[in-house]
Each structure stands twice: as C-alpha cells, then as structure tokens.
C-alpha cells in the first residue's frame, strides 16, 4: 500500500488517469467508483504516448466521464454517489421562483417615481437571483453526470449520507479523502491510499460491495420515499413556470427530478 498526498499539485489527478488508462487495457472485470460528488474532471493527455493510443483519439485531453464510458464497454462498472435529494435542494426552487416574480414586478417603470431607485432594486434582485440559481445548481452536475453514465450502461446507486471515496479497478485501487472532483483530484490537500496487492484489493472491493448493499439502485429511487421531498403538484407548477425555465442551466436538472416522482 502506498500513501499519496496531492503534492505536487495535481498528483492525484495524474495517478487516477494512469490507473484508468491501464484498466482500459486490462482483462474484463469489475470497476467500482464511490464518491459523494462527481465532476467531469479534465485530464491532460500530453505525453501519454502508448497509453494515449488506448483512447483511439488524437485529442490532447479527455474527461473523467468519457473514460468511464469507455471502461463500461470492457468492464462491469458500478457508481455509488449521494442521492439526488441530498445534492439538490428543491425547496430552494420556491425561493428562486419568488425572486423571479419580484424581479418582473420591478420592470414596470410606472410603479416608481424614482428611476434610479428602480434600477438599484432591480440590480439587487438580479444579483440575488444569480446567487440562488448558482446555489440550486451547485451539486446538480453530480446528478446529471450519474445520469449520463447510467445511459452508457454504468450501474448507478445512491447512498444516503455517503462520505466514503474509493476507486477499484482490476489493476489497482484507491481510497481516502479525495472526491472525484476538480478540487479533490487537483488542488485540495488530500490523502489517498493506493492498493495494489491481491488481499488489499479484495478487502477494498468487499468495502465497495458493502456500500452497495446499503444503497438504493437508481431504477428503484423515488423522491416520495424521503421525508423532505417536494409535493409533485408544487414541483410541476414551479418547473413549468416560464420564468424558472428561462434561468440558465435549470431545465436539465428539472427534467431529471421530474422522472424521480415515479418508478423508472
């Protein structure tokens, strides 16, 4: 077992890339990824030489999701992440909608004798809307990335209160503090243990299997099974509001959540 800090900057990113590229050439088997948050981390392929040719592309970079889409063509891949209701606060959608309505009211100059006051209030409301939109979407990409991998054939499961992080491949494994995000693999002060011996890999896979046993398969996940879900009629009203749909980046995650109210 080897211990790896994220020094120099991006060391863990390099390590993960090497393991994933090796797995693309290994004998078919299993691949496990456990991470609370999942970003499409971009990897630099400059100088990869022979390993770069495994991707069959002259591109100078590739994303984490693309690598897993290729891995699932060779291996049985399982992804465990936080459930959607822990990643996106649907309650914040109500606040965003209210702010959007108030902004529209501020557009009418007939309601104000002071044009400068109107402009100031409008700008302040727009700033709040931008903050609310960013907060609502902050972890939405984990939900969308999991959906993309599920469409590619990856087995996706949701684990409530997930904090563990691990990567298991036929050629090696990692576990430790780093999420599979840009911060976790590139810039944060993280510690990851690399496992290469057979007994260590078996123990790490057993841990991944244990996490799967307490997770909900994506196809069985329903928002209505959880206490803090938003009623369907409320969600539908907000999701179909023209003002909400005009907010940048909102529609894809709303479409996913719309599917989570009924069995897939």
What pLDDT, on the 0 to 100 scale, is given for residue 105? 84
Residue 103 near residue 184 (C-beta atoms within 8 A): no
pTM to 2 decimal places: 0.91
2-84+156-197+207-220 to CATH, choices 3.10.20.30, 3.30.870.10, 3.50.50.60, 1.10.287.3510: 3.30.870.10
What pLDDT, on the 0 to 100 scale, is given for residue 60? 80
DSSP H or E stretch at residue 91? helix 91-105
> Residue with structure tokens 């290469």?
196
Name the residue ranges covered by the structural domains of the chain: 2-84+156-197+207-220, 91-138+222-259
Given CA atoms 197, 199, 201, 204 in this order, what sign does their dihedral have?
A: negative
Give the residue ranges of the chain where pLDDT is below 70: 47-58, 109-111
Could you read off the pLDDT of 102-133 as tens digits, one per residue?
988 888 766 677 778 888 888 999 999 999 99
Given CA atoms 206, 208, 213, 217 in this order, what sign does their dihedral have?
A: negative
Could you read off the pLDDT of 166-179 as tens digits, one per residue?
999 999 999 999 99
Residue 59 near residue 203 (C-beta atoms within 8 A): no
């Amino acid at each position: 077992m080897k211990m790896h800090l994220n020094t120099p900057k991006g060391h863990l990113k390099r390590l993960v890339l090497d393991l994933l590229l090796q797995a693309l050439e290994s004998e078919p088997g299993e691949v496990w990824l456990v991470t609370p948050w999942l970003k499409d981390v971009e990897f630099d392929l400059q100088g990869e030489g022979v390993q770069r040719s495994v991707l069959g592309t002259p591109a100078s970079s590739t994303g984490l999701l693309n690598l897993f889409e290729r891995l699932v063509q060779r291996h049985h891949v399982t992804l465990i992440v936080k459930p959607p209701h822990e990643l996106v606060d649907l309650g914040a959608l109500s606040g965003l909608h209210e702010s959007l309505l108030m902004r529209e009211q501020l557009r009418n100059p007939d309601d104000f004798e002071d044009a400068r006051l109107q402009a100031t209030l409008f700008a302040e409301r727009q700033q709040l809307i931008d903050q609310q939109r960013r907060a609502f979407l902050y972890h939405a990409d984990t939900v969308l990335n999991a959906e993309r991998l599920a469409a590619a054939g990856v087995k996706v499961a949701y684990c409530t209160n997930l904090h563990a992080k691990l990567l298991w491949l036929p050629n090696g494994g990692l576990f430790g503090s780093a999420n599979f995000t840009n911060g976790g693999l590139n810039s944060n002060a993280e510690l990851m243990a690399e496992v290469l011996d057979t007994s260590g890999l078996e123990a790490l896979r057993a841990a991944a299997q244990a996490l799967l046993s307490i997770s909900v398969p994506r196809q069985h996940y329903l928002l209505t099974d959880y206490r803090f879900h938003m009623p369907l009629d409320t969600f539908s009203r907000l999701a179909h509001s023209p003002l909400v749909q005009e907010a940048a980046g909102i529609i894809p995650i709303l479409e996913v959540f719309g599917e989570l109210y009924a069995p897939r």
